[in-house]
Amino acid sequence: MHLHSVASFRPLPVFFFVIAALSFSVRGSSDATLEDLWGSDWAFSGISTFNHLPYSRCLVNRSEIFDIAVVGVPFDSLTTYRSGAREGPKAIRWASGRHLSGRSFHPSLHFNPYESWASVLDCGDIPVVPIDPVLAMQQMGEALVELLSRPTSQKSRWSHPRLVLLGGDHSIVLPMLRALHKIRQEPVALLHFDAHIDTMDPDSYPRKAWKSQASEIHHGTVFWQAAQEGLLLPGHLVHAGVHGRVSSLQDFHSDNSLGFLRIPVEEMDDEGADAIIKKIHDTIGEDVPVYVSIDIDVLDPAFAPGTGAPETGGWTSREMMRIMTVLSKLDVVGLDIVEVTPAYDSAGGDTAFAAANIAYEAISMMVQKEMETSKFETQADYKYQKEEL
């Protein structure tokens, strides 16, 4: 073995160590602000808000201005099968953290809904009591009226903000419809995505001798109850993606009497997405205020297993995204995504991810509707991007 003498090794130049030391300097320029240095998050860091949006306890902070608010409603005391949807808002927010609000440029619409004319906030959760459904309904109703009463931003054409509710079981839609009626003083159209029709007459359910006024309201009777209270606009009501069982043919007769159009899930195969979109558009109309309610069980359990009443044979998540494009042509005054039940979800959170993306798509559609019909400062940029791409 040939050994080199010590004299054969030459010392490294001093500038090598200077350069090496500089390479470990990761601090930005000397004029960087604290916001520049520490003001951004990764998808996996930060407090869990929807898409990392700014957070405010809007119910106690009346100075907060917003056009669209994401609001959690962790209530599931009126479900008739598997409970656990009270954990839905937390799971949906967690899944939505996959994308930062600043990294939410829509690949098809060509704008970022969070960097548009609209002020979008995460307003946290309504603190709903879990052990008294009657009191919980009152709490939800008063909280939603409070939020709907807030002023919108100067750039908004809306008189009232839009709320995107994260449920919770489907019963949360009733206090929302009541709140909308109180604020708007008119019934609204309804676009309801669900495996089930949820217009069950309480007397058709096997309550038999054990009846009470409170038992008339649960997640399967909410739209029957809403119709009885005059909250819905007959002839402008749509169930889309229906494929769940009912008690008897009488349930469909009852549904017909309320003025609903049912679009069964198989119409996707028989007629296609465009035909369904046209049917929804023609039934509801562009100038009618419409509330959109999305039960995650409209999706096949292969795409959304984490729900309280799963039904096989539902739409795929891609089919749902396609149908949702109709929202950009409708006057959406509010929306909910309900029945996400994390305890039954896949290990990777497939249901929560689907729900989070549905919420993002809905927000994008509401923002786009106003960008195409109003003159905002950002509209020129929006048109330019559409033309360039």
Determine contact, residues 82/219, Cβ cutoff 8 Å: no
For the entire predicted model, the pTM comes to 0.87
Examine residue 159 and state whether it is found in any structural domain, yes or no. yes
Q: Is 344 within the bounds of a domain? A: yes
Q: What is the pLDDT of residue 386?
A: 54
Q: What confidence score (pLDDT) does residue 334 get?
A: 97
Residues 155, 190, 89: CA angle, nearest 5 degrees: 70
What was the pLDDT predicted at 84? Answer: 87
Average pLDDT over residues 229-241: 96
297 carries a ligand binding annotation: yes
User: Number of folded domains in the chain?
Assistant: 1
| H-assigned helices in 105-151 | 133-148
Please tell me the predicted confidence (pLDDT) of residue 156: 86
* CA angle in degrees (0–180, nearest 5) for 209-211-217: 145
pLDDT value for 191: 98
In the beta sheet, which residues pair with residue 163?
Answer: 69
Rounded mean pLDDT, 218-225: 79
193 has pLDDT over 60: yes
Write down the pLDDT at residue 324: 96
Higher pLDDT, 123 or 6: 123
pLDDT in the model for residue 21: 52
User: Contact 93/48 with Cβ under 8 angstroms?
Assistant: yes
Structural domain includes residue 78: yes
Residue 9 belongs to a domain: no
Asked if the structure places residue 20 within a domain, the reply is: no
Does residue 25 lie in a domain region? no
Please determine, for residue 379, whether its predicted confidence score (pLDDT) is greater than 90.
no
Provide the pLDDT for residue 6.
Answer: 47
- Quick one: pLDDT band at residue 26, thresholds 50, 70, 90? low
- What is the rounded average pLDDT of the residues 100-129? 91
Which of 201 and 163 is assigned the larger pLDDT? 163
What is the mean predicted confidence (pLDDT) over 110-136? 94
Residue 30 pLDDT exceeds 80: no
Given the structure tokens 């440029």, which residue do they identify? 105
234 versus 380: which is more confidently predicted?
234
What confidence category does residue 9 fall into, taking pLDDT thresholds of 50, 70 and 90?
low
For position 214, what pLDDT does the model report?
61
pLDDT at 173 over 70: yes
pLDDT in tens, 90-99: 999 999 999 9
CB-based contact 310:301 (threshold 8 Å): yes
What is the DSSP secondary-structure string of 302-360? TT---BSS--SS-B-HHHHHHHGGGGGGSEEEEEEEE-B-GGGS-TT-HHHHHHHHHHH
pLDDT in tens, 281-339: 999 999 999 999 999 999 999 999 999 899 999 999 999 999 999 999 999 999 999 99
Angle subtended at Cα 326 by Cα 341 and Cα 184, rounded to the nearest 5 degrees? 80
Query: Mean per-residue pLDDT for 154-179?
Result: 94
218 carries a ligand binding annotation: no
pLDDT of amino acid 246: 74
**Is the peptide bond between 235 and the residue preceding it cis, with omega within 30 degrees of 0?**
no
Coil/strand/helix, residue 292: strand
For residues 359 and 381, give the distance between their C-alpha atoms in angstroms, rounded to a whole number: 24
pLDDT(56) > 50: yes
Question: In b/e form, how buried is each residue of 45-55, taking b as 16+ CB within 10 angstroms?
Answer: eeebbbbbbeb
Main-chain phi, psi angles of 153, to 5 degrees: -70, 165
**pLDDT at site 384:** 44
What is the DSSP track for 14-61? HHHHHHHHHHT-----TT--HHHHHS---TT-S---GGG--B--TTT-
Name the residue with tokens 């896949």.
346
Q: Tell me if 269 is assigned to a ligand binding site.
A: no
pLDDT higher at 65 or 370: 65
Mean pLDDT of 362-380: 76
Which tokens hold the place of 115? 């960097």
Can you give the residue range of the structural domain that contains 277? 50-202+218-388
Neighbours of 160 (CB within 10 A): 18
Helix, strand, or coil (residue 177) = helix
pLDDT at position 19 over 60? no
* Range scoring the smallest mean pLDDT among 24-28, 202-206, 222-226: 24-28
**Taking all residues of the chain, what is their mean pLDDT, rounded to a whole number?**
87
Residue 125 · residue 88 · CB < 8 Å = no
Q: Are 165 and 176 in contact (CB under 8 A)?
A: yes
Locate 44 and state its tokens. Answer: 């996996």
Establish if 37 belongs to a structural domain: no
Q: Which of 164, 188, 194 is nearest to 294 (CA)?
A: 194
Residue 173: give its domain's CATH number.
3.40.800.10
Indicate if the pLDDT at residue 4 is higher than 80. Answer: no
- Residue 196, annotated as binding a ligand: yes
Query: Which residues, 6+ apart, have CB-to-CB distance to 51 below 8 Å?
Result: 96, 97, 99, 100, 101, 104, 114, 356, 360
Nearest partner of 293 among 175, 185, 186, 213, judged by Cα? 175
Mean pLDDT of 343-348: 95
**Bigger pLDDT: 222 or 6?**
222
Q: What are 273's two structure tokens?
A: 């997405």
**211: in domain:** no
